[in-house]
Amino acid sequence: MKNNQHGRDSNLHVLKSSVNRHALFGLSISIFAVVVATLANCYFSTGSLSLNGIYAVQKDLPVLWLLDALPFIFLFWGQHVGSVLAYEANTLINDQTDDLKNQTASLEKQVMYEATHDSLTDLPNRILLHDRLDQAINTAIRHKYKVGLILLDLDRFKEVNDTLGHFAGDRLLKQVSLRLTGIVRKSDTLARMGGDEFAILLTHVKSTKDLELFINRITKVMVLPFKLSGMSLDLQASLGVALCPDHGKDVDTLIQRAEVAMYAAKQKRNGYAIYSRNLDRFSPRRLTLMGELRQALQRDELILYYQPQINLLTKTVHQAEALIRWQHPIHGLLSPNEFIQLAERTGLIKELTNWVLNQSINQIFKWQEKNFPMTLAVNISPSCLLNTELPEIIIGSLGSHNLGKSMLTIEITETSIIQDPDLAYEILNRLKKLGADISIDDFGTGYSSMAHLKKLPVSEMKIDKSFVMDMLNNSDDETIVKSIIDLGHNLGLTVVAEGVESIHIAKRLQQLGCDTLQGYHFSKPLPPEEFEAWHAGYADVLISELLD
């Protein structure tokens, strides 16, 4: 603000002085004209130049009086026009600055809006709901009233999508959103959580009766048939309800409990259910885990295991893949398949990825200090890759250390790239500049385009284990593995095979020209100390078998 003001003042100053310069120029010319005219008149009328003669012509000639007035006129004109011009120009600059400010503000608003709203229905999305739910919970706890969260999931929506197509499915979702909008109060929030799931946040619930009345209204608007392509469709929905503070006092718990209730309602086919402990049996285990994952991060229950990768060219092991585990106090060691998706759904994946990157980079340096040089590959989910902060997070994790070239490999999937190729391109390039290598994980299972692969700064391809594990019994799998190896090499990439469970598979892959092997035959993923012990005791023996 201060800068703007300062800028405008100096513009004004420049303008004024430019006008003043012109006025001064006019003033000098007019003084010059007065002097020349007076002297000339004096000379012509008296035959010489004298002070008396000058006084006489100045006194007697009205033309000279007019001329005498000119410098004053210029002086006045200069001042006046200078001020007017500068004022007008200043207004113009002000207007333009305001226009620019307005444009920037509306652009910022638009970006913010798009990040927090669902593009199909224009409703708030999961992120905005999280935020509002958090605020509502805090206010409710302070003022001692209740907040209600209703999750609504359409029954058999998939059938509509499959039989009538996605376009019809989208239109149906819009109609549902319009009907629900009609019954939601201004102070409450209707959000689309994704797919056919909606959420309604009731910021002020007096009693369960209140809640049931509202649910009745939902049932009433949903009971009327939906019109789609000239057809009349009956659509049912299952509702799950959770209340704060009764069922939870934080966002994750409340959403998780409402989901449990919604699953119960779906299975019992009774329209809606309000959460209670005995409904927990309806929830898949992952739902109860969801509420606990945030605490797991804080309580240090997550650990990284490391699985070695055997480099067939150098016949050494100098790289491992970092794979996350959850040491759960009740369920024991949990595999990432049980909680990574959950983390993605709740948004916790960002914190989890930060943790994994931090931990991996620390481990690289710990091993370096022990004179045990090992580079690590880290898995990055699509939502995290497309997070423009990722390079900054890595810089942050590096702290004062310097990441040497190729110490860290980022494993991404084809899906991450396809979602937004331009953004992926930009982020991957920045990561590359930081010294990270990029590897395409689970290659062969997703959609990819050769054009993207060629353009991206990728250096490695990992053949998905589903093709490798059975390749000796399934000739189609073997053909796929061989084609991926050839494709990778033609693109100038290193090819890694994962899921190598036997020496026979390892040898076949070696014949096919695969560069790196990873799998249970060599070692399962191990905690760091066991990994070091494996490296010292078994690595060479296993590698020597490949040489026979």
Task: Write out the residues near ligand C2E by the rule CB under 6 A.
Answer: 307, 323-324, 335-337, 340, 356, 379, 381, 441-442, 465, 498-501, 518-520, 525
Asked, as a colleague might, if the bond just before 308 is cis with ω within 30 of 0, I would say: no
- Least spacing, CB of residue 438 vs Ca ion, in Å: 12
Q: Which residues pair with 273 in a beta bridge?
A: 240
Q: How far apart are CA 459 and CA 447, in angstroms?
A: 18
Q: Yes or no: say if 151 and 144 are a contact pair by the CB < 8 Å rule.
A: no
- Least spacing, CB of residue 94 vs ligand C2E, in Å: 51
From Ca ion, ligand C2E, none, interface partner of 203 (C-beta below 5 to 8 A by class):
none
Collapsing DSSP to helix, strand or coil, 10 comes out as helix
- When binding is defined by CB under 5 A, the residue of 189, 309, 379, 516 that contacts Ca ion is 379
From ligand C2E, Ca ion, none, interface partner of 252 (C-beta below 5 to 8 A by class):
none
From ligand C2E, Ca ion, none, interface partner of 323 (C-beta below 5 to 8 A by class):
ligand C2E
- Return the structure tokens found at 181: 């909008």
Please name the residues in contact with 463: beta carbons below 8 A apart, sequence gap of 6 or more: 443, 444, 481, 484, 485, 495, 496, 497, 498, 514
Q: How far is CA 136 from the centre of its chain?
A: 25
Phi, then psi, of 333 in degrees rounded to 5? -75, 115
Q: Please give the residue whose beta carbon sits closest to ligand C2E in the complex.
A: 519
By CB under 5 A, is residue 411 in contact with Ca ion? yes
- Least spacing, CB of residue 336 vs ligand C2E, in Å: 3
- Least spacing, CB of residue 376 vs ligand C2E, in Å: 11
Task: Report the number of secondary-structure helices (H) and strands (E) in the chain.
Answer: 21, 16
Nearer to ligand C2E, 124 or 499 (CB): 499
- Least spacing, CB of residue 393 vs ligand C2E, in Å: 13
From Ca ion, ligand C2E, none, interface partner of 337 (C-beta below 5 to 8 A by class):
ligand C2E
Q: Which stretch binds Ca ion (CB under 5 A): 176-184, 256-264, 332-340, 408-416?
A: 408-416
- Least spacing, CB of residue 356 vs ligand C2E, in Å: 4
Nearer to ligand C2E, 204 or 350 (CB): 350
Q: Which stretch binds Ca ion (CB under 5 A): 125-133, 305-313, 360-368, 377-385?
A: 377-385
- Which of 111, 86, 65, 69 minimizes the C-alpha distance to 21? 86
By CB under 5 A, is residue 203 in contact with Ca ion? no
Place of tokens 């490695």: 460
Q: How far apart are CA 226 and CA 221, in angstroms?
A: 10
From ligand C2E, Ca ion, none, interface partner of 140 (C-beta below 5 to 8 A by class):
none
Count of residues near Ca ion by CB under 5 A: 4
Phi, then psi, of 144 in degrees rounded to 5? 55, 50
By CB under 5 A, is residue 196 in contact with Ca ion? no
- Least spacing, CB of residue 379 vs ligand C2E, in Å: 4
From ligand C2E, Ca ion, none, interface partner of 381 (C-beta below 5 to 8 A by class):
ligand C2E
Place of tokens 């020349």: 36
DSSP state of 11: H
- Least spacing, CB of residue 511 vs ligand C2E, in Å: 19
Distances (CA, A) of 295 to 23, 97, 253, 329, 520: 76, 49, 11, 12, 31
From ligand C2E, Ca ion, none, interface partner of 257 (C-beta below 5 to 8 A by class):
none
- Least spacing, CB of residue 312 vs Ca ion, in Å: 18
Q: How far apart are CA 545 and CA 503, in angstroms?
A: 8
Using CB under 5 A, which residues numbered 431 to 450 contact Ca ion? 441-442
Collapsing DSSP to helix, strand or coil, 76 comes out as helix
Q: How far apart are CA 41 and CA 38, in angstroms?
A: 5
By CB under 5 A, is residue 414 in contact with Ca ion? no
